[in-house]
Amino acid sequence: MIENKPKYNEVYSNATLYTNYDDPACWNDAIRNLLQSTPAQLRSNTKSICVSGTSASCLLVDPTSGKVTRSAKMYDYDISHSRPGLNPVAGLLATAWVDEYAPENHATRAATSALSKLLHYHACQPIKGKSPEVLAHQSEYVANTIFLFNPKKCGAGSAANRREYTSDWHNALKLGYDVRQLKYPSWLLKCLDEVGIDASVLPKVVEPGQVIGEISTYAAERYGLTKGTVVVGGTTDSNAAFVAAAAAGGSLPEYGTAVTSLGSTLAIKMLSRTFVEDSKRGVYSHRFPVLGKRDEDGDGNGDSNSSSREESWLVGGASNVGCAVLRQENFSNEELVELSKDMDVSTDSAYDYYPLTKMGERFPIADGKKEPNLDPTPDTRAEYLKGILQGISNVERMGFQVLGELGAEPSFPDVVWTAGGGSKNDAWLQMRERLLRDSVGGNAEVRVRRADNSEASFGAAILAASSFS
């Protein structure tokens, strides 16, 4: 799994790596460092590998050389914001293209969607001809570069050296892939054709956990992995966190099971019988894979028989509020622990905060101009912390209410498993449970619990294991 935090210090065992969250070279260095720090026996016993990354983080690459041709646009890159050095009308042009072709309320209509970013790349500098560049999400870029890449064959033509970038249902959703019909839709292909982009820019798509191929000879030799180890379709970090928290036993969770990831940002997912979508509120549905029951006929082109199985949907969205604001406001770990001990979570805070770290929100309403609200500042740090935690909790509550309003079934979760750093705060768990119960008239059936396994990397491992279960 790739976790993204601006300019963080990531520690793997005894190895330390300084990385920048939007630098693809740093993503790869982090994985190489992890592999080299992993005991040799664990590496040699590895049978399957799954890579997860942040949703809608993508870049353009040369499929022959594998070199990055356009810098990465991360999950929170908003094309509606003008930036120094870029064509000031590119965002307007890309937005107009999305508005013209994407269906109403489709996930791609968000200014942070992968399709918006692809069209923004083209508006800044045209993507010319057939396959000079291909789009890769963060997860498939890392999977290809680290695990599937073989050095260039000298004297071979470009076709022999061409890399195949294979995405998955979860990452490809915001690119426009139809997760109900399991293919790229006609409206998307028409859009690309009429704006002058060859459809070969699109990656293939498979089910998360479906085998893509065996690792390269180069990867096996360099990292001490066993030849025959497979790479499977990846996923996004919040979906991986759901699998880690709710499907650790390898069986499907019940409908109404939800997972809230309380990391730098807030993401909620609930297992629903129904597909719901509304880009104006930042809501979308991911098709949930059936663990251990793979369709052997899928060829990666979106025409597998997976559609014949009973559909289950992970409905939800990701907000820009989250624990990052606590660091911005200089709360140390020690202070968080101490102030939470005596916090009265049975009463509401007097402060109505919307704790963003910067302008812009994705969910429960998509508003690129949404302003942070952390005013006024209380007299005590304890009051300030309670107000911030309640503000994040209110966004979570509004998120689940929006899912119900849009037709999720059931309309509200029965149990909410909590992943991420915020799950360690018992007082916050109790606060959130009270607020969620209040939303449904004090329904005692709403339970908020800490997930036994809360790491997205664990969920990715479950998907990897499902390829041979």
Same domain, 287 and 208: no
Same domain, 259 and 206: no
Q: Is 385 within a domain?
A: yes
Same domain, 188 and 264: no
Same domain, 211 and 286: no
Q: Which of 31, 40, 71 is nearest to 231 (CA)?
A: 31
pLDDT of amino acid 304:
43
Same domain, 152 and 300: no
Q: Name residues of the chain where pLDDT drops below 50.
A: 1-19, 296-308
Q: Which of 443, 384, 370, 369 is nearest to 413 (CA)?
A: 443
Q: Is 469 within a domain?
A: no
Cα 106 from Cα 366, distance rounded (Å): 12
Q: Which residues of 200-212 are buried (b: 16+ CB within 10 A; e: fewer)?
A: ebbbbbbbbbbbb
Same domain, 367 and 298: yes
Q: Which residues contact 429 (CB under 8 A, 6 or more apart)?
A: 418, 423, 448, 449, 450
Q: Please give the angle made by the CA atoms of 3, 5 and 6, to the nearest 5 degrees.
A: 145
Cα 367 from Cα 383, distance rounded (Å): 28
Same domain, 257 and 186: no
| Dihedral, 138, 124, 106, 405 alpha carbons, nearest 10 | 80
Contact assessment for residue 178 and residue 102, using Cβ atoms and an 8 Å cutoff:
no
Cα 401 from Cα 408, distance rounded (Å): 10
3-state secondary structure 227-275: CCCEEECCEEHHHHHHHHHHCCCCCCCCCCEEEEEECCCEEEEEEECCC
Same domain, 88 and 202: yes
Same domain, 225 and 281: no
Contact assessment for residue 89 and residue 255, using Cβ atoms and an 8 Å cutoff:
no
Structure tokens at 248: 């650790």
Prediction pTM value:
0.80
Q: Which of 424, 442, 462, 412 is nearest to 257 (CA)?
A: 412
Q: What CATH number does residue 330 fall under?
A: 3.30.420.40
Q: Is 244 within a domain?
A: no
Q: Is 361 within a domain?
A: yes
Same domain, 151 and 258: no
Q: Is 463 within a domain?
A: no
Cα 192 from Cα 248, distance rounded (Å): 40
Domain of residue 203 covers 9-35+44-233
pLDDT of amino acid 81:
84
Is the preceding omega at residue 63 within 30 degrees of 0, hence cis? no
Q: Is 466 within a domain?
A: no
Question: Dihedral sign, CA of 413, 419, 420, 423?
Answer: positive
Q: Is 239 within a domain?
A: no
pLDDT of amino acid 249:
55
Tally of structural domains, the chain: 2
Same domain, 227 and 255: no
Q: Is 458 within a domain?
A: no
